Amino acid sequence: DAGVTQSPTHLIKTRGQQVTLRCSPKSGHDTVSWYQQALGQGPQFIFQYYEEEERQRGNFPDRFSGHQFPNYSSELNVNALLLGDSALYLCASSLWVLGPIGAKETQYFGPGTRLLVL
């Protein structure tokens, strides 16, 4: 049973460039969430995709955008890169569940993509 996979593992870009990160969810999962983790900090929620739509968004500028494909995989795009965008980008997958509190599903994380902006 394959877990969450992300590509690439590492990436180096320069300021002003654009980057695309990719994520394949765990088998059986249909929801993908993206988090940014700066060095020494906890992960910060960027956005979440379900049914190819952005369902929730954290406090990130429009330079951060995403997409979800019919096979549930997802991309995170960042335009006009800034030095401050250097971080570990984590993808998490889960199964979208509606209903009582006991039915909420856990998010499982991938290994992340380390982005360095020079």
Partner 1 sequence: AQKVTQAQTEISVVEKEDVTLDCVYETRDTTYYLFWYKQPPSGELVFLIRRNSFDEQNEISGRYSWNFQKSTSSFNFTITASQVVDSAVYFCALSEAGFGNEKLTFGTGTRLTIIP
- The amino acid present at 59, given as its one-letter code, is N
Cβ neighbours of residue 113 closer than 8 Å, sequence gap 6 or more: 6, 7, 8, 9, 10, 11, 21, 88, 89
Q: Count residues binding partner 1 (CB under 8 A).
A: 33
Out of 12, 14, 105, 118, name the contact with partner 1 by CB under 8 A. 105
- Examine residue 88 and tell whether it contacts partner 1 (CB under 8 A): yes
Upper half-sphere CA count for residue 93 (Cβ side, 13 Å): 24
Out of 45, 73, 75, 86, name the contact with partner 1 by CB under 8 A. 45
- The distance in angstroms from the start CA to the end CA of the chain is 37
- Examine residue 41 and tell whether it contacts partner 1 (CB under 8 A): yes
- The amino acid present at 32, given as its one-letter code, is V
- The amino acid present at 113, given as its one-letter code, is T
Inter-residue contact 81 to 19 (CB < 8 Å): yes
- Examine residue 114 and tell whether it contacts partner 1 (CB under 8 A): yes
Out of 8, 52, 55, 63, name the contact with partner 1 by CB under 8 A. 55
- Examine residue 48 and tell whether it contacts partner 1 (CB under 8 A): yes
Tokens of 11: 């990436």
Out of 20, 58, 65, 67, name the contact with partner 1 by CB under 8 A. 58
Residues at the contact surface with partner 1, assessed by CB under 8 A: 31, 33, 35, 40-45, 48, 50, 55-56, 58, 88, 90, 92, 94, 96-98, 101-102, 104-112, 114
